[in-house]
């Protein structure tokens, strides 16, 4: 009996998280109410409060879940290839595919990045995301590299530049898809030659 109750709780919680992700990624944090999420999940509004206590608590869980999955995918992309250029190309290709086929993920990340500027709860999560992405890129792409640029700039600085450039270009793509903008992602490869 305890096991089935736990499974039911997980499924309720999972339905709520999925509904919150769907609502926020299509309409944005500011434009979504808890009632709309409850309706989307097919649960009573009180269930959202039971599992997540508040809108901020629910959205924090959505951010953590989204970031966790995103980090696993990025790491898989960064592990592909044997050379600096191959691993960086895999990262760039992954980013392009995600912008084209899963723009909701980026809308969600950008929405929460804006919230992070004002909310201590979200600022820690997003600060960790960008730091971890930079560290991951540095470890998988630049570690051990003898690239000429590393004689002038640190691997950490170049990793931050790469991640920041990717996210900045991503915003531009989402706001105005222009054939040259995705090419800007390919231009990042120049930094790694």
Name the token pair of 50. Answer: 């039971």
Domain span at residue 75 reads 61-192
Quick: pLDDT tens for 119-177: 888 899 888 988 998 898 888 877 765 555 556 777 788 888 888 888 888 888 888 76
Q: Among candidates 62, 56, 70, which has minimal Cα distance to 25?
A: 62
Q: Among candidates 122, 95, 102, which has minimal Cα distance to 26?
A: 102
My answer on whether 11 and 76 are in the same domain is no
Percent of the chain with pLDDT over 70: 84
Return d(Cα 131, Cα 160) in angstroms, integer: 8
My answer on whether 66 and 1 are in the same domain is no
* pTM of the predicted model as reported, rounded to 2 decimal places: 0.77
Return d(Cα 85, Cα 83) in angstroms, integer: 5
Which residues 6+ apart lie within 8 Å of 136 measured at CB? 71, 74, 75, 78
Domain containing residue 173: CATH number:
1.10.357.10
Percent of the chain with pLDDT over 90: 19
Of the CA atoms within 13 Å of residue 75, those in its CB half-sphere come to 11
My answer on whether 129 and 169 are in the same domain is yes
Quick: pLDDT tens for 91-113: 888 888 888 888 888 888 888 88
């Amino acid at each position: 009996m305890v096991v089935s109750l736990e499974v039911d709780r997980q499924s309720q919680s999972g339905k709520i998280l999925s509904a919150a992700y769907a609502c926020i990624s299509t309409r944005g944090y500011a434009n979504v109410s808890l009632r709309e999420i409850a309706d989307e999940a097919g649960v009573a509004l009180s269930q959202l409060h039971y599992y997540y206590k508040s809108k901020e608590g629910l959205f924090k869980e959505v951010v953590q879940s989204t970031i966790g999955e995103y980090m696993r995918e990025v790491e898989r992309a960064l592990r592909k290839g044997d050379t600096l250029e191959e691993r960086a190309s895999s990262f760039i290709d992954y980013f392009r595919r995600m912008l084209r086929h899963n723009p909701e993920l980026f809308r969600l990340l950008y929405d929460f990045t804006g919230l992070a500027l004002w909310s201590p709860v979200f600022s820690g999560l997003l600060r960790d995301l960008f730091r971890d992405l930079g560290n991951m890129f540095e470890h998988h792409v630049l570690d051990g590299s003898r690239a000429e640029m590393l004689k002038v700039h640190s691997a950490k600085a170049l990793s931050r530049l790469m991640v920041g450039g990717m996210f900045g270009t991503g915003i531009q793509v989402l706001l105005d898809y222009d054939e040259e903008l995705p090419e800007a992602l390919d231009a990042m490869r120049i930094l790694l030659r």
